[in-house]
Every structure is written in structure tokens, then in C-alpha cells.
Amino acid sequence: MGAKFKRFKREPLLPILIVLVMLSLLVFIVYPLFQIFKSSFVTTDGMFNFDGYKRVLSGGGLFTALTNSLVLAFLSATLSTVIAYLFAYTFAYVKVPFKRLFNGIAILPIISPPFVIALSAMLLLGKQGLITKNLLGLDNANIYGLHGLVLVQTLSFFPIAFLTLSGLLRSISPSLEEASQNMGANKLKTFVTVTLPLSVPGIANAFLLVFVQSLADFGNPMTIGGNYSTVAREIYLQAVGSYNMQSGAALAIVLLTVTLIVYVLQKFWVGKKSYVTVTGKPTGQRRLIESGPIKMILFAFCIIMSCIVIAFYALVPIGSFIKLWGINNSFTLDHYKYVFSIGQKAMKDTLTLALIATPISGLLGMIIAFLIVRKKFLGKKALEIISMLSIAVPGTVIGIGYILSFNKAPLALTGTAVIIIAAFVIRAMPVGIRSGIAALQQIDPSIEEAATNLGAKQAKVFTSVVLPLIKSAFFSGLVNSFVKSMTAMSAVIFLISAKYNLITASILAQVEAGRIGVASAYCTILIIIMIIAMILLNLLVKWMSGPRRTT
């Protein structure tokens, strides 16, 4: 005890920091989840019963939403994984031109606002769609519903699967496949008996990641779900639409349970099964497939997919200049005029709040990562678990949790900027924590000890050694939290008020009112803001690291 106190006196910063971090996670993650749990058993008049769960599981509309979500998630995850595997395989095994371009296109949907693809789907395949009406001459095409959702989610989420799979395929040692060929197997046999089995854990991993994303998806079901109701949407409608908090909370708990199960499955069961060990040593160069039908097929596939993605992205800016898509195709700036007058406030609010949330979540992510990787303290395990599981908490769940928790004293935060910023930070932070942990684990702890040994204090060690070494993780954490905050919807849709409106909510309102042109203009502006912000952030980081001191 005495020794611990002395250490506290020596380094008071660290314990204070730990307490602050723990407190903020408790207030903004654990407490809201607890509130949902509690509310799911309590009626509006304060009675305790199981009505909420009865409604969810009794086979009515809420139960349909649950099964719908699972069907949708299964379809989207399967399709995404197949497409991502083909892409990733082409990258790792085939010699094709434009690899960088394909790569950029494949990860583009990760950073784009959630509506872009849904909007384009309407413009392309809707009732007035470019393809459906103009090309195919269909009069009554309907993009709304399961098929539209599968299309849109697949295009939005296959990049997540792609990143997982391409990392895995690249790290399979070529010598294993060479050994197989050396023992007489042909290329197909080698693929079926070596490459494919080795990539099974990665495939399962990718599938589950997309599955969770699809379950938690809010934006797409809201825009093109049509009559196909899904869980995330239903939670919102229950809570905000019909103000049935008990049912909403019960549904949220069910959704949370499913995503947590899938996440734990992905993390511990599939994760453990991986055969590939990442050593950081480059494996030998793989001999790429240079010709033949396989190459041709895969190359054609990549080109077609890229064209589709590009088409989906090009259409939104185009649509923003068209008066009434499919009916009156004349050029207009009206949508932008509208956005810059009525929508100005939403843009300003979003930008301000995102700019405040970005550094907080970036720094907090790195600090939590540092605490988890390098420090020993009471409650560390809890911190690790909370920050890890928070990745799996769907935005809608956070949203309903926040209105349940922060509506009344002592934490009456609803309607304030604080609550929206908190939601931004909590939603963006897990990714930052994860990349921070990955970056720190690469760094030999004795480098920090060396700094201490040469006289640096804790804070100095962190700023002069740790931070510069995890600079790129920190930077990508900043970019990620800015992008996430600017495009956030599922959690914050519960929290907006007359005082603070957000672009994403405005887009949703425009889509619901059928003003696709205005929605497209909002989206286009959002994309432009994000591109500019990323360039600025990049320059800022370059300027901060500055020219190296030499004398």
C-alpha cells in the first residue's frame, strides 16, 4: 500500500488520467446500456413486466423486423464476402494492371457518407431510374425492399470484408503453395486443398464483420427499406415515432445480444482458428498468375465492379444538378440554393460538433490504447473489455440509451451539444483504440524504458517517444473520427434538436419527402467537406511533425 502511494506521489498524472477515462466510459457506455436494460422491463407507468420482450418475440411486427434483419444480414454478408474474396484473390495472386486504382475503389465506400449508395440506387434503379426506366423501359420498377437493401448493403460493406481478406491472403506464405505444387498438385488442386482451407478463418471473419454491420445498419433501411422493416429502424420508430420506450428498449437489448454474440464469435472463435501468424517479416515473393482464363475472368470482374462503384458515386453529384430526376432532366442550381439557405445551420452544426469531437476521440483512443498495452492498474481488464465491446454496440442502441439516460437530472444533457459530441466520440473511438493498440504492440517497450532511463518523465516519454511513433495510427484515428462524426446518423438521430441539427438528418428528411435532388446536393457537399478536411488534416500533421532537427 505504502509503495503504491509513493508511486502515486511520483506520477500523479497517470492515476488521474485512468480515473477520468474510466469515468467517461462508465457514463457514456455502461450507464446508457444499463438504462436500456432497465427500461426494457418497465412500462410507461413504471410497472415491472415482460411486455416489451413479449411484443418482440410474439411473432408480431417486431419479430418480423428481427427475422428480416437476420435474412438481410445473411444475404449481404454472403454476397459481400464472395465479392471481397474475388477482389482480394486478384490482388494477391494475379498480375493485373490498375491495382492501385482497384484498391482505392474497393475501399472508397468505407469513407463515404452512408446515403450515397442508397441515393444512387434510387437514381439508377428506382421508378425514374436511369437503367430501369430509360434503358429497360420499365414503368413500375421498385428498388425499395429487401433486394434494394441487399444491393446497397453489399456495395457499402464489401470493402470491410475486402480489407480483412486481402490482409489474410497476402500473409499466406507462398512456400506452402509451392510445397503443394512440388508434391504434384496442379493449380486448382492447390487452391482447393491449401489456399482455400487456409483462408477459411478469414472468410468467416469477413462474413461475421459484414453480418454485424448489416444488422446495425440504420441509414439504408431508412432510405430504401420500403416496407421491409429491420431491427435498427424499428428501434428508432418505437422510441421516437410511437414513444413506446419499453418495446424499443427490449428490441435494442435483443439486437445488442445478437451483435455481441456474433462479435464474440468472430473475435474468439474465428480469431483463434487463424492459421496465419503475422510475424512482420515479409514472406517470400509469390509468383503471380500472368495469363490464362482465370486472369481474364478476374480482371473483367474487377473492372465491372469498379465501374459499378464509380457509377454509384458519380450519379449523386450529377443528380444534385438535375431538376427532377427522370421527369424533368434540366440543369439547375436550385438544390444548392436550398441547401445553402435552409441547410446552412445543419452544415455549420455538423462541422462544428465534428471538429470538436475529432481531437477528443483521437486523443482518447490513443490514451486508452496506451493504458491497455503498457500500464498495469486496477480495473484494466474492465477497461479493455468495455472499449473492445463498444465496437459491437450498434449506433441505434447507443442512441436509445442516451435518450433514456440523459433526459433527466442529474445528467440532463438532451438537446445540448455535449450529448452529440459524446455520441460522436464514443462511436468513433473504438477504431482508434484498435489501431492504437496495434501500433503500440509493434513498438518494443524498452524504447520507452530507454527514454525513462535517460531522464524523461511519464508525460515526456509519451509526447517525445510514444506519440511520434504512433503518429500514423493517431492520424488515421483523427481522419476516421472526423469521417465517422460527419456521417454519423444511427446514434445521433435520437439526439438532434432544434438547437443542433445535422446534415445526415437533413438528408434523411429530404429523402423521406422525396426531394432526391436536395438530398444529393447535401451528399455532394458532405463529400467535398470531407475531402477538404482530410487534405487539411494531412497538411496539419505534416506541419506539426516539421523538418527534423539535426543540431
Q: What is the DSSP letter of 318?
A: H
CB-based contact 187:93 (threshold 8 Å): no
Binds another protein by CB under 8 A, chosen from 450, 528, 531, 536: 450
Could you give the angle at which helices 116-125 and 293-319 cross, rounded to 10 degrees?
90
Binds another protein by CB under 8 A, chosen from 1, 3, 188, 278: 3
Output b/e per residue, 283-319; b: 16+ Cβ within 10 A: eeebeebeeeebbeebbeebeebbeebeebbebbbeb
Of the two residues 185 and 456, which places its CB atom closer to another protein in the complex? 456
- How far, in Å, CA of 226 to CA of 148, rounded? 9
Total site size for another protein, rule CB under 8 A = 27
Cis peptide before 410 (omega within 30 of 0): yes
Q: Does 512 bind another protein (CB under 8 A)?
A: no
Q: Provide the minimum distance between the beta carbon of 463 and another protein in the complex, in angstroms, as a whole number.
A: 12
Binds another protein by CB under 8 A, chosen from 13, 135, 447, 539: 447
Q: Does 140 bind another protein (CB under 8 A)?
A: no
Binds another protein by CB under 8 A, chosen from 67, 193, 407, 446: 446
Q: Does 376 bind another protein (CB under 8 A)?
A: no
Q: Provide the minimum distance between the beta carbon of 434 and another protein in the complex, in angstroms, as a whole number.
A: 22
Which stretch, 323-331, 351-359, 458-466, 498-506, contacts another protein (CB under 8 A)? 458-466
Of the two residues 9 and 100, which places its CB atom closer to another protein in the complex? 9
Interaction mask 463-482, another protein, x per CB under 8 A: -xx--xx-x-----------
Which stretch, 283-291, 327-335, 460-468, 480-488, contacts another protein (CB under 8 A)? 460-468
The cell for 503 is 446534415
Write out the DSSP string of 148-198.
HHHHHHHHHHHHHHHHHHHHHHHHS-HHHHHHHHHTT--HHHHIIIIIHHH
Q: Does 6 bind another protein (CB under 8 A)?
A: yes
Q: Provide the minimum distance between the beta carbon of 6 and another protein in the complex, in angstroms, as a whole number.
A: 6
- How far, in Å, CA of 519 to CA of 433, rounded? 33
Q: Does 453 bind another protein (CB under 8 A)?
A: yes
Alpha-carbon distance values, 384 to 210, 365, 381, 390 (Å): 23, 12, 5, 10
Q: Which of 143, 76, 145, 152 is nearest to 118 (CA)?
A: 152
Q: Compute the residue count for the chain.
A: 551
- Interface with another protein by CB under 8 A: which residues? 3, 6-7, 10-11, 444, 446-447, 449-457, 460, 464-465, 468-469, 471, 548-551
